[in-house]
Every structure is written in structure tokens, then in C-alpha cells.
Amino acid sequence: MLADPPPWSRRLARSIARTRAASKKKKKKEKYLTQDNIDAQLWRRFGTSRLERTVCAAPTGTVNMALYGKMPSITYRDYPEAKLIILWGVNPSASGIHLVPYVREAQKRGARLVVVDPRTTALARSADVHLAVKAGTDVVVALAIHRYLFTNGYADESFLREHTHGADHLRERAEPWTMARAADVAGIDAAALERVAELYATSAPALVRCGWGHERNRNGGNSAMAILALPAVGGKFGVRGGGYSMSNSASWGIERTWIGTPEPDTRAVNMNHLGRALTEYTDPPVNVLFVYNCNPAATVPDQRRILRGLAREDLFTIVFDQVMTDTALFADVVLPATTFLEGYDLAKGYGPISLELARPVIDAVGESRSNADVFGDLCTRLGLLKDNEPTGELDVMLRVLDQLPDTIGADLRAGGRPTPPCGASPIQFVDVFPNTVDRKVQLFSAALDASAPIGLYRYQPDPATDRYPLALISPASERTISSTLGELPRPDVKLLMHPDDAAARGLADGDLVRIFNDLGEVHCTLSVASSIRPGVVSLPKGLWRRSTRNSATGTALVPDTLTDLGGGACFNDARVEVASLPNA
């Protein structure tokens, strides 16, 4: 039986019932109980605005679905089989430490390593080639490699005929990107780029680890498209350790059939436009904001506009979280949520193809409750549940287990790890094939070509200006791969800048500086080092407002423009200037 709900539950139900324009924010998609369950049922049946969750992985996800239908990819255990590994837009030393030992093992066995990243990361220091590209230019680098493959007879024409559609379109659009031209645009050495192309053409098995760093700009979708198409053109599939590697969370093919209500035809709000939604939407306005599983005041683009929206007197804001986030400081009601240590969930892995039943290891602390319990309570009080529908976490877990394929559900109930449908370590184009209509790679999609601003496999120029010439990036660090745990004390936040850029501005290591553009400014300490390329500066990802000297994070400088495909965030399109902080 459920205990009597606390008083805030009744007040909250009444508050939500006052409007049908509630906006919600969520993040990860790999868990089954904490989101896309009773919460989705609540929002759908109540008829709130729909949220397009595109702040992360939207361009790569869109492209991966279009090309391969999210075919299972190379798992970590097969990295040592590769003779060449390209880490593109990913830094496992900070954001995927489980992968690092497999990369190191491959190197011990003689594999060559290529890293494409504006910074000299730990793995870049040991790489055979490091391409320190300008932010937003990855697409032209990948197209130059395609051109090399086609021009020099390294394209696998037999594979392209048998397993792909659209190779001629890709060949045509790669043609203008010579090594010299691509290297000039990307700010790298043409000989180094040609060396990477040669290594990729002649190495087998060869794998590309496609990360998410390269997608966070105006060319993010086309960048992912060109990178993920490389194994098809180069004929790198069909062997263990060859092909591409991405998140494998979609490899189980499990549909969320337990959400008993279709999405309503209400307006869709791109989460990167939250600031606009809170300050500009009038038909109808957003009157209630329910925030859970995220901290938009610190993490969503155009921070100043978001804070202005959160400060509205007529906005009723509920924040459901484990800690007092920057967003919670604006809330009318703050609800205490359980952590992953206190509840059940079904979670899928990123690298390995794994599905596990997580169990609580401690009792819920204080009045904290799980997502499923809170949303079940709200559904009940609003009269939105049908007979025999789950009302809380344990009911939901049993319902999900019942709807999983028999062997998977049985293994999870018994406390084991179920066997993936494709096997734990599939070989692409041997054990698994594209989940497209005809099981072929769609190298060119007419629909995507029409939806992209200037078409597929195209490059949009750098948005830098004379006034704001520096590209600001915000990669994951050893301390924060997201904003989670950002409430903990941390060392002084520093802006990383190349010595040439610092000297040109009369700045020195340890100076207090302001990073600014027309959207806002951030005050912090300067760190001068050659580990970042000229023309690019870096602030750590996941900062909270308390982390800087003026209570602004890097998102205060990020425009809310969208990527070419998928409607993703353009974090790395922030163009800024840096100067010493007056009166510092």
C-alpha cells in the first residue's frame, strides 16, 4: 500500500491542473523507470507541450538512424583486434574511462592510433597522428578522406554496390575537398591529414570511434554523416574490430510499449529553445515548468535568457532533484528525488551491449521519492490512470519486465544478465546488418538533404568575426562529464588558452579574465598551455553558476542556434573574445 502522500503532492497536482502548457525537461534515454514511463503517461494524457530532447546526441542519433538504423556497433572488447583506431570527437580519458584499457591493449599489439580533437588529450599525446582541427570543421576533414579513398582506388566498389545506396552522391560532394583545401579550412597540416587517409585506406581491421564532440556546431549532422560513412566507403566491415563504434544502447531493439498513450498533437518545444519558450511564447504562454533529471539554468544555451524566464513572477516552477541545483533556486516547489542508490531501474550500457536490473543499496533518504512514485501519485490525483495501471516504481518495474521478450525478462528477474539478441560482441555485416528497410546503408537521404540548410555533406563557414574571433568549446573533464555532482567543491575554474592567443592579448597564466560576446560574459582565471590549438579556448563542461566569479557558465556565451540535422545544440559555435578583468 502507498503511504499517505505529503501535503506538497496535493498542492502540486492543483498547480499543474491550472495549465495545459507545462514544459518538461529530461536527459538520458537509456533507463526505463526514471523516465519515458509513468511520467510520459502523465504528460501525454494531460496534454502538455512536448519536449524535443536534443541538447545531446541529436545530430549523431539522427544520422546513425538514417545511415544504419542504429545497427549494433563494435563493442569495447573487440578494440584490441583493430590495427587502426580513430578516436573522433571523443576523449575516453575523461568521459569513457572503461574504453581506455582496450585502446591501450590495441596499441600494445601494434595498432596505430589517430585522435581528432582540438585539444591534446591524454590519448592524443600517445597517438601516431593527432589532428587538432578547428571546431566545426570535422566534416571537411572526413570528406577529404572520402575523396582520397575514391580517387586512389581504395573505395570498396563491390561493397558499395551490394550493401549501400547513394555512394555516387557522396563521391560527388567529397570531390571538391582536396587535402590542401580541407587542411586549410580545418587549420591542420595537409601532410598529416593525408597520412591519416593513407593509414585508414591500408589498415585492416580499422575502426572509427564516433564521439559527440564534433556534433556540437552548425555542421554537426553532416560531420557525423561523413564520419560514419567512412567504413562503408573504405570496406572496413565484415571483420572483428572493423567498422564503427558508437553507443550500443539501442542494440536491444526494445520498444517502449508500456507507455499506454500516444503522443498528443500539442506543440513541440526544442529544449535548446527553452529560453525562448519561457520569454517569448504567448499562444499560449508557458505557465508551469516541471524540471527533472536536469539543470537547465546551467546547461542549456543562451543562459541569460533562460534565467530571465525562470525569474518570471507568473511562472510556476517545480524542480524535482536530489540536490539544490541552480534551477531549483528559482523553484516555487522543490521535490526531493532519490538517487540511483535508492531505487530500482533497468539500465542499458553505452559501450558494451548490456542490460541490467539495478537494485537499491540504501533506503530512501528523508522524504525523497523515485520518479515513478511521484509521477504515479500525480497521475492518480489527476484522475489520469486507468484500471490496473501501475502507480509506482515497483509496479512499473514488474510491468516493464512482463513486456520484455521472455528470455530477457526471465534473466533479469533471476538477477542475471540477459544475452543480447545480436550476441555480446557482434561483427558488423556478419552478425548484424543495418536496421533499414532493405538492410543496406543509406549513404544519401533525399529527405535529410532537403532538411539540411545547404544539403548533405556540405560545410557551413565558421561564424567567427573580427570582434569575436575565438571558438569556445566546453568538453568533459576528469571532474565533470555532465552537470551531475556540480554542487561539490572544485578547484578554481580556468579558461584554457594557447600561448599565442594569450600573448596577442597581453595575457598571462593566472590572470583574471572575462570571456565575452553579445550574449553574456564569464569571469574566471586563465590557464595558458599549448595543449589546445590556437584560435580555440576551453571551459569545462558541466559547470554550475557558483563555479565562476560572476555566476555565469559557458552556456551564457552559447547561441541557441540549431545543428544542421537533428535540431541539436551548437555549444561549440560560441565565438568570443577574452580580455583582462578590469580592477582584478
CATH code assigned at 68 = 3.40.228.10
Q: Are residues 95 and 38 in the same domain?
A: no
Specify the pLDDT at position 279: 97
The CATH number of the domain holding residue 384 is: 3.40.50.740
Specify the pLDDT at position 54: 94
Least confident of 182-196, 267-281, 303-317, 347-361: 347-361
Higher pLDDT, 114 or 492: 114
Specify the pLDDT at position 30: 57
Last residue of a domain, one of 391, 413, 435: 413
Specify the pLDDT at position 23: 35
pLDDT digits (tens, 9 = 90+) for 246-304: 999 889 888 888 888 899 999 999 999 999 999 999 989 999 999 999 999 999 999 99
- Residue 502: pLDDT band (50, 70, 90) is very high
In a domain, 419, yes or no: no
Residue 123 has pLDDT above 80, yes or no: yes
Cell readout for 54 is: 536534443
Specify the pLDDT at position 276: 97
Q: Are residues 376 and 322 in the same domain?
A: yes
Q: Are residues 267 and 228 in the same domain?
A: no
Specify the pLDDT at position 72: 96
Q: Are residues 30 and 99 in the same domain?
A: no
In a domain, 151, yes or no: yes
Q: Are residues 280 and 382 in the same domain?
A: yes
How does 82-115 read in b/e, with b if 16+ C-beta sit within 10 Å? bbbbbbbbbbbbbbbeebeebbbebbeeebbbbb
Q: Are residues 366 and 491 in the same domain?
A: no
- The pLDDT of 359-375, averaged and rounded, is 95
In a domain, 418, yes or no: no
Range of 169's domain?
59-249
In single-letter form, the type of residue at position 129 comes to: V
In a domain, 404, yes or no: yes
- Residue 527: pLDDT band (50, 70, 90) is very high
CA distances from residue 34 to 113, 169, 361, 515 in whole angstroms, order as listed: 38, 42, 17, 37
In single-letter form, the type of residue at position 476 comes to: A
Contact indicator for 337, 292 with CB cutoff of 8 Å: yes
Specify the pLDDT at position 231: 98
Residue 207 has pLDDT above 50, yes or no: yes
The CATH number of the domain holding residue 573 is: 2.40.40.20
> What percent of the chain is predicted at pLDDT more than 70?
95
Contact indicator for 246, 210 with CB cutoff of 8 Å: yes
In a domain, 129, yes or no: yes
- Residue 369: pLDDT band (50, 70, 90) is very high
Q: Are residues 69 and 45 in the same domain?
A: no
Least confident of 79-93, 435-449, 480-494, 517-531: 480-494
Last residue of a domain, one of 249, 266, 284: 249
Q: Are residues 215 and 345 in the same domain?
A: no
In a domain, 574, yes or no: yes
Q: If you average pLDDT over every residue of the chain, what do you get?
A: 92
Q: Ramachandran region of residue 366, left (φ > 0), alpha (ψ -120 to 50) or beta? A: left
Residues 6 or more apart in contact with residue 255 via CB below 8 angstroms: none
In a domain, 434, yes or no: no
- The pLDDT of 393-418, averaged and rounded, is 89
Burial class (CB in 10 A: 0-12, 13-18, 19+), 349: middle
Specify the pLDDT at position 254: 84
Specify the pLDDT at position 31: 74
Specify the pLDDT at position 32: 79
Three-state SS string across 379-438, please? HHHCCCCCCCCCCCHHHHHHHHHHHCCHHHHHHHHCCCCCCCCCCCCCCECCCECCCCCC
Residues 6 or more apart in contact with residue 533 via CB below 8 angstroms: 118, 119, 132, 133, 134, 187, 498
Specify the pLDDT at position 35: 87
Specify the pLDDT at position 9: 45
φ/ψ of residue 293, rounded to 5: 60, 20
Q: How far apart are the C-alpha atoms of 337 and 369, rounded to whole Å?
A: 5
Q: How far apart are the C-alpha atoms of 521 and 540, rounded to whole Å?
A: 15
For the chain, what is the domain count?
3
Q: Are residues 262 and 409 in the same domain?
A: yes
Which letter does DSSP use for residue 569 in this model?
B
In a domain, 220, yes or no: yes
In single-letter form, the type of residue at position 8 comes to: W
Last residue of a domain, one of 386, 413, 440: 413
Q: Are residues 223 and 290 in the same domain?
A: no
Specify the pLDDT at position 498: 98
Q: Are residues 76 and 220 in the same domain?
A: yes
Specify the pLDDT at position 584: 61
Specify the pLDDT at position 28: 38
Q: How far apart are the C-alpha atoms of 139 and 101, rounded to whole Å?
A: 29
Residue 241 has pLDDT above 80, yes or no: yes
pTM to 2 decimal places: 0.93
Q: Are residues 244 and 317 in the same domain?
A: no
Higher pLDDT, 343 or 582: 343
